[in-house]
Amino acid sequence: MNGWNWSVVEDFMPRFWDGVLVTLQALALGSLIAFALGLVWALAQRSDKIWISWPVTAVTEFIRNTPLLVQLFFLFYVVPTFGPAMSPLTTGIIGLGLHYSTYTAEVYRAGINGVPVGQWEAATALSLPKTRTWTSVILPQAIRRVVPALGNYVISMLKDSPMIAIIGAFEMFGEARSFSNETFTQEAILVVGVAFILIAYPASVLLRALERRLVR
């Protein structure tokens, strides 16, 4: 490649690894929040109590239809005026997790709706408590069905992680953009582009293999 300078890449690598660490932290912790909170949303939306299901549905619809960037700005700049101030990374993790929890909620809901009616009827015939029905019968089947879809949202979260650099949490792309602006070079951007492919593509392959395994 004409004009490629390996010394620039060498200078960028320490900041690159710092960015990788931030990216992986945001991705791992954000995914945990999205998976756990999404299940809470899905169960709350199925509640027989209207005062629970309606507000939860309204909140999740609002979050899902609001840009992630706006939510990050709100959490970082507005929330501290009447609540606790958070570091850029913590804000980014919460923002990613909260935003994607509304999507995983729909995935869980589809998985729960996909459980055969006979499973519910069998649990009722056996007089299983409601909690036992959910934890031992319904959720194990529903979650198994939706694992590939949840994995797809992890990859989507990875691709959206550069947004947290806007509030000062410099992940891979944020570090690359900052370095490029300081040195007037482009090598760092290309290195990060390759890094995203090296992370996302194997993950996609593993998800396809997992999906085939679960189908069998």
pTM of the model: 0.89
Could you tell me the fold of the domain covering 6-215? MetI-like fold (1.10.3720)
Domain map (residue ranges) of the chain: 6-215
Q: Determine the Cα–Cα distance for residues 30 and 171; give it in Å rounded to an integer.
A: 14
Measuring CA to CA, which residue among 83, 69, 78 is closest to residue 165? 69
What local confidence, expressed as pLDDT, does residue 1 receive? 46
Residue 138, classed as helix, strand or coil, is: helix
| Beta-carbon contacts of residue 82 (< 8 Å; ≥ 6 apart) | none
**Alpha carbon distance, N-terminus to C-terminus of the chain:** 46
Listing DSSP states for 160-187 in one string gives HGGGGGGGT---HHHHHHHHHHHHT-SH
Specify the DSSP class assigned to residue 48.
Answer: S
In whole angstroms, how far apart are CA 75 and each of 10, 55, 84, 108, 169? 35, 20, 10, 26, 13
What local confidence, expressed as pLDDT, does residue 214 receive? 67
Q: Which residues of the chain have pLDDT under 70?
A: 1-2, 214-216
